[in-house]
Amino acid sequence: MVARSDLGCALRAALPVMLGYVTIGIPCGVMAAEVGIGPIAAFVVSATFYSGAGQFMMASLALAGTPLASMIASVALVSTRQVLYSAALSPYVARAPRPLAALFAATVTDESFGVNLERFVEDDSWTPARATLVNLLSMFSWALANALGALVGPALAIPTTIMSFAMTSIFVCLLVSRRWSAVTVAVVATSALTVVALKALGLGSLSVLLGAVAGVCAGLVAGARGRGEARA
Amino acid sequence: MSWGDFLVFYVCVLAVILACRCVPLLALKGRELSPRVSEALGLIPPAAFAALVANDLFDPAGGLSWRQLAAAGAVVVVARRTGSLIWCALVGMAAYALLTLVP
């Protein structure tokens, strides 16, 4: 049973993400309609895939007539960064029941990862149940927006680049709001430069995952150097 | 795409997505982690957000767009002053929309 206070706290935390998802979910649903996915199917796909990048990619690859195996590989590859989020969140659900932990894990996205991690670190009262509610509320707004987009279809001309900048802005905010140190600078610079280099080389689908892994490695090296200098 | 193809696509991709999301969390849940692993896990958030921002701002075909960089700069100012996700999202979209009007 969900306490009303948990729902209120989760709703306040999820609201920015939900609004962002509505703004980009509608154009994503419009694209889904263009490849023949109706409102109900768009809702089901969005609630289960729950992946903006994957769903935009699915529609554009289908429109381009990409072979099935390539579509599966491309959309699966953009989801691999979730491995890192899942590992990073594991300490915070150590005492949660396994079914709740599984539901929480299955509904994490880039944005809800950031929102929940911030709360887990800064708010002692933040629980896996509240975090899961944030994920589910965000998922519901995403799925509903996609269904709405699929319902109205191409009749709605929406500038996707402007709408999707809401998500970029959320990532910038989550990045800037963190406590910064020399190690953070090394992590951020390495991640960003690696992504740019990999995208320039044509490795678009894997760039975020590999960029983040490179950033973590750089941070570990910088941290070890810092400790070595402090000892010397 | 036929419905048969779509079902194959859906089941395969969903299996990968759920595995990526659930397996690491459930495998590490409740385990005593070494300091090195804990340190690495703590570095994931800034690494992931920096990678996502770079991914959004850099287009291999067009390079870096000054409009997006300027809009992101406005978001940095708002994030520093308010720390509010919703204000950052609104200011980011408004700034980018206005900058697209500049020839």
Q: pTM here?
A: 0.78
Name the residue facing A166 among B41, B83, B93 (closest C-beta): B93
Q: What is each CA distance from B35 to A65, A90, B32, B39, B41, in whole angstroms?
A: 48, 15, 9, 6, 10
pLDDT digits (tens, 9 = 90+) for B24-67: 999 998 887 788 888 888 888 889 889 989 988 998 888 888 99
Chain B closest CA to A45's CA: distance in Å?
Answer: 8
Tokens of B78: 């708002």
Task: Determine, for residues A199 and B21 on separate chains, whether the beta-carbon distance falls below 8 Å.
Answer: no
Domain boundaries, chain A: 4-179, 180-232
Q: What percent of chain B has pLDDT over 70?
A: 100
Residues of A whose CB is below 8 A from B44: 84-85, 87-88, 212, 216
Task: Determine, for residues A85 and B21 on separate chains, whether the beta-carbon distance falls below 8 Å.
Answer: yes
The pLDDT value recorded for residue A1 is 59
* Residue B102 near chain A (CB below 8 Å): no
Nearest to A101 by CA among B30, B13, B43: B30
Residues in CB range of A224: below 8 A, 6 or more apart: none
**Residue A68 to residue A72: CA distance in whole angstroms:** 6
Residues of A whose CB is below 8 A from B47: 84, 187-188, 190-191, 211-216, 219
The pLDDT value recorded for residue A157 is 64
Task: Determine, for residues B53 and A48 on separate chains, whether the beta-carbon distance falls below 8 Å.
Answer: no
Domain boundaries, chain B: 1-31, 42-103
Chain A closest CA to B103's CA: distance in Å?
Answer: 16
* Residue that wins the pLDDT comparison between A14 and B87: A14
* Residue that wins the pLDDT comparison between B100 and A58: B100
Count of H helices and E strands in chain B?
4, 2
Taking CA–CA distances from A93, the nearest residue in chain B reads B29
Written as tens digits, the pLDDT of chain A (232 aa) is 567 888 999 999 999 899 888 888 888 888 888 888 899 999 999 999 998 878 887 877 787 777 888 888 878 877 887 888 899 999 999 999 999 999 999 999 988 998 999 899 988 889 999 999 999 999 999 999 999 999 987 666 667 677 778 778 888 988 998 788 999 999 999 999 999 999 999 887 678 888 989 999 999 999 998 888 777 6
CB contacts under 8 A, B 17-76 vs A, are 17-18, 20-31, 33, 36, 38-60, 68, 71-72, 75-76
The pLDDT value recorded for residue B1 is 73
The pLDDT value recorded for residue B62 is 83
Tokens of B27: 């495998």
Task: Determine, for residues A216 and B43 on separate chains, whether the beta-carbon distance falls below 8 Å.
Answer: yes
**Residue A204 to residue A2: CA distance in whole angstroms:** 41
State the amino acid at position A99 in one-letter form. P
Residues of A whose CB is below 8 A from B76: 172, 176
The pLDDT value recorded for residue A165 is 83
Task: Determine, for residues B47 and A191 on separate chains, whether the beta-carbon distance falls below 8 Å.
Answer: yes
Name the residue facing A219 among B47, B71, B100 (closest C-beta): B47
Question: What average pLDDT does range B2-10 have in this prediction?
Answer: 88
DSSP single-letter state for residue B84: -
DSSP-derived 3-state class of residue A51: coil
Integer distance in angstroms from the first to the last C-alpha of chain B? 39
B81 — phi, psi (to 5°)? -80, -40
Inter-residue contact A29 to A148 (CB < 8 Å): yes
In chain B, at which residue ranges do the beta strands (DSSP E only) sit? 58-59, 63-64
